[in-house]
Amino acid sequence: MALDTDKNSYTVIFAAVMVVVVGSILAFLASSLMPNIKENERFAKQQNILYAMGVNENGDDAGSVNFIPTDKVGAEFTTYIKEQLVIEGGKTTQDGEAYLIDLKKQLANKKKGKPYKLPLFIGEKDSKRLYIIPMYGKGLWDAIWGYIALDDTMTVQGVYFDHKGETAGLGANIKMRYFMDDFTGESILDGTKYAGIAVAKGNNDPLNKTKDDNEVDALAGATITGNGVAVMIKESVNLYKDYLETIRVK
Amino acid sequence: MALLTKKDASLILDPLTDNNPITIQVLGICSALAITAELKASIVMAISVIFVMALGNVVISLMRNIIPSKIRIIVQLIVVATLVIIVDQVLKAYQFELSKTLGAFIGLIITNCIIMGRFEAFALANGPWKSFLDGIGNALGYGVILIIVGFFRELLGSGTLLGFPVLGDPILKTGLYATGYENNGFMIIPPAALIVVGLIIWVQRSRNPALVEEN
């Protein structure tokens, strides 16, 4: 049987069948893999929060990022994270699943003037209380996000950054240890102002020995991603300013 | 030998040299610029494209007699996009770490013109086995160039290979840096890839003058 593939009716039918077939394949796949994907995302969030507060398996030698393995992360998360708070309209409540709050959605609500929830995590490591703030912002191509762990003097104890689609080898390096480690020890305060930490070019301090300048050394070739990180930190800590003022040691 | 006839073998080998998709057909340049600042990304991209291209070529080849010619480009696009999304979802469910590394490449794979080019030029006119070999060959040809460019850009731009410092420490001035050597910051920005690809094209054509177009 010879098919006349040039007929309009054939073209329309083919297109319709193709859409249905492809659509069902993808829908079936998405729904059958969803539980696994959701679980992986949950583990990743726990890993990232723990990473920011310094609970990770980083060795002293190589500069690679090593999370707590997924089979242990659930238990470690409950050990180290003492409280999960949700700040909504100035009121603070406890919520054991605060880490699942999608910050992107909450910030969109804020923009539309709707009520929004801000999650915050209190961890304890080496009998020191750490306040871990989630962050969300934009890089050059797409979203960037992360967590920043502060102590009660507003000094950074660790950060974690990640990104959706920054340039490999350039902006994508914000999730490299040599960039993230620089933030540790910096203060987010400038006097009493929540100034954040600038990602500065040419601050002549590549080893980041000066910890009181609210600056870390930028990544070469990644100016816009770096600026995005700086803006993200500043905006995020300012969202939590009211809460942080209540726990800050003055 | 039984597995590959001489013609089959040339389907794989030609794109590696005298019919290379990047240096001869000048396709797929955009992704060659975007992701070759480091070697690891080049390798990941090369492997992903081999996979998508081989599979996509087979699927298109199997469908070649029923695809309406008026909408064939759209059909090709749907096939690539579907394959890439399937791979992405499966990795997200079973290899989460790897999927995060690949995340940035997904869009670049779908829009890679080598893939569309091979569907259009080869798979629509040939059987599945030949198309499979053609897909592998062209993706390898693409991958080889990507890896060469990534090698030089990472080595000269950052002084590392696959993230390992091979030239010493640029800040503490050890190794080669003790002699006053500096990393070339230009190599890590995209225009450097154009120059490296240009140099590869130059070397290849001067070794084989038959490749030079007549004016």
Give burial (CB, 10 Å; 0-12/13-18/19+) of A2: exposed
Residue A204 has pLDDT above 80, yes or no: no
**Distance of alpha carbon A165 from alpha carbon A161, whole angstroms:** 13
Q: Within a domain: residue A3?
A: no
Task: Say which residue, B158 or A118, is predicted with more confidence.
Answer: A118
The structural domains of chain B, with segments of one domain joined by +, span 20-205
To the nearest whole Å, the CA of A242 is away from the closest chain B CA by 34
Q: What is the dihedral of CA A186, A192, A195, A197, to 10 degrees?
A: 0
| CA separation, residue A203 to residues A209, A218, A221, A231 (Å) | 11, 9, 16, 18
Taking residues A187-213, what's their average pLDDT? Answer: 80
Q: Within a domain: residue A28?
A: no
**Partner-chain contact A169 B71, CB within 8 Å:** no
**Partner-chain contact B69 A25, CB within 8 Å:** no
Residue A68 has pLDDT above 90, yes or no: no
Taking CA–CA distances from A176, the nearest residue in chain B reads: B163
With residue A70 as reference, give the H or E element that holds it.
helix A70-80
To the nearest whole Å, the CA of B114 is away from the closest chain A CA by 21
Mean pLDDT for chain A overall: 87
> Residues of A with CB below 8 A from B56's CB?
none
Give burial (CB, 10 Å; 0-12/13-18/19+) of B204: middle
Confidence of residue A148 (pLDDT cuts 50, 70, 90): very high
Q: What φ, ψ does residue A97 adopt, rounded to 5°?
A: -120, 30
Q: What φ, ψ does residue A41 adopt, rounded to 5°?
A: -65, -35
| Predicted local confidence at residue B215, as pLDDT | 64
Task: Say which residue, B95 or A33, is predicted with more confidence.
Answer: A33
| Predicted local confidence at residue A61, as pLDDT | 54
| Predicted local confidence at residue A120, as pLDDT | 92
A216 in Cβ contact with A233 (< 8 Å): no
Residues in contact with B76: Cβ distance below 8 Å, sequence separation at least 6, in sequence order = B56, B60, B116, B119, B120
Query: What single string gives the DSSP state of each residue in B105-158?
Result: GHHHHHT-HHHHHHIIIIITTS-HHHHHHHHHHHHHHHHHHHHHHHHHHHHHHH
> Residues of B with CB below 8 A from A11's CB?
68, 70-71
| Predicted local confidence at residue B27, as pLDDT | 80
Task: Say which residue, B156 or B98, is predicted with more confidence.
Answer: B156
| Predicted local confidence at residue B21, as pLDDT | 83
Percentage of residues in chain A having pLDDT higher than 90:
31
> Residues of B with CB below 8 A from A165's CB?
103-104, 107
From chain B residues 77-136, the ones with a CB under 8 A of any chain A CB are: 78, 82, 85-86, 89-90, 92-94, 96, 100, 103-104, 107
**Distance of alpha carbon A49 from alpha carbon A128, whole angstroms:** 16
Domain count, chain A: 1
Q: Within a domain: residue A11?
A: no
**Partner-chain contact B107 A167, CB within 8 Å:** no
Residue A184 has pLDDT above 60, yes or no: yes
With residue A216 as reference, give the H or E element that holds it.
strand A215-217
**Partner-chain contact B188 A36, CB within 8 Å:** no
**Distance of alpha carbon B56 from alpha carbon B48, whole angstroms:** 12
Q: Which of B77, B185, B63, B194 is nearest to B131 (CA)?
A: B63
> Residues of A with CB below 8 A from B36's CB?
169
To the nearest whole Å, the CA of B10 is away from the closest chain A CA by 32
Residue A27: strand, helix, or coil: helix
Taking CA–CA distances from A208, the nearest residue in chain B reads: B171
For B140-191, how does the pLDDT look when each residue is reduced to its tens digit (9 = 90+)?
999 999 999 999 998 998 888 887 888 887 777 788 888 888 888 788 888 8
Q: How many CB pairs under 8 A join A and B?
A: 93
Confidence of residue A136 (pLDDT cuts 50, 70, 90): very high
| CA separation, residue A15 to residues A9, A12, B60, B85 (Å) | 10, 5, 15, 19
Instruction: State which residues form the domain around A84.
Output: 60-247
Q: Within a domain: residue A113?
A: yes
Residue B130 has pLDDT above 50, yes or no: yes
Pick from B96, B104, B158: which is nearest to A172 by CB? B104
Beta bridge partners of B50: none
A132 in Cβ contact with A49 (< 8 Å): yes
| Predicted local confidence at residue A94, as pLDDT | 86
Chain A residues with CB under 8 Å of a chain B CB are: 3, 5-6, 10-11, 14-15, 18, 22, 25-26, 29-30, 33, 36-37, 40-41, 43-44, 63-64, 162, 164-170, 172, 206-207, 220-221
**Partner-chain contact A169 B158, CB within 8 Å:** yes
Residue A160 has pLDDT above 90, yes or no: yes
Residues in contact with A205: Cβ distance below 8 Å, sequence separation at least 6, in sequence order = A213, A215, A217
Confidence of residue A176 (pLDDT cuts 50, 70, 90): confident
Q: Are strands A156-163 and A117-125 parallel, antiparallel or unpaired?
A: unpaired
Which tokens is A37 given?
A: 């994907």
Residue type, B24: I
For B42-71, how does the pLDDT look when each residue is reduced to its tens digit (9 = 90+)?
888 888 889 899 999 999 999 998 888 888
B200 in Cβ contact with B148 (< 8 Å): yes
DSSP state of B33: H
**Partner-chain contact A5 B67, CB within 8 Å:** yes
| Predicted local confidence at residue B151, as pLDDT | 92
Q: What angle do CA B61, B67, B72 make, to 5 degrees?
A: 95
For A4-58, how does the pLDDT look when each residue is reduced to its tens digit (9 = 90+)?
778 889 999 999 999 999 999 999 999 999 998 888 889 989 999 999 988 888 7
Confidence of residue A133 (pLDDT cuts 50, 70, 90): very high
Q: Out of A31-35, A85-89, B33-37, B128-132, pick the least confident.
A: B33-37
Mean pLDDT for chain B overall: 84
**Distance of alpha carbon B134 from alpha carbon B12, whole angstroms:** 6
pTM, to two decimals: 0.75
**Partner-chain contact B89 A30, CB within 8 Å:** yes
Which tokens is A204 given?
A: 């002549």
Q: Within a domain: residue A72?
A: yes
**Distance of alpha carbon A244 from alpha carbon A147, whole angstroms:** 15
**Partner-chain contact B68 A11, CB within 8 Å:** yes
A133 in Cβ contact with A147 (< 8 Å): yes
Confidence of residue B1 (pLDDT cuts 50, 70, 90): very low
Residue B15 has pLDDT above 80, yes or no: yes
| Predicted local confidence at residue A227, as pLDDT | 93
| Predicted local confidence at residue A215, as pLDDT | 85
| Predicted local confidence at residue A63, as pLDDT | 66
Total Cβ atoms within 10 A of residue B44:
19
Q: What is the 3-state secondary structure (H, E, C) of A75-123?
A: HHHHHHEEEEEEEECCEEEECCCHHHCCHHHHHHHHHCCCCCEEEEEEE
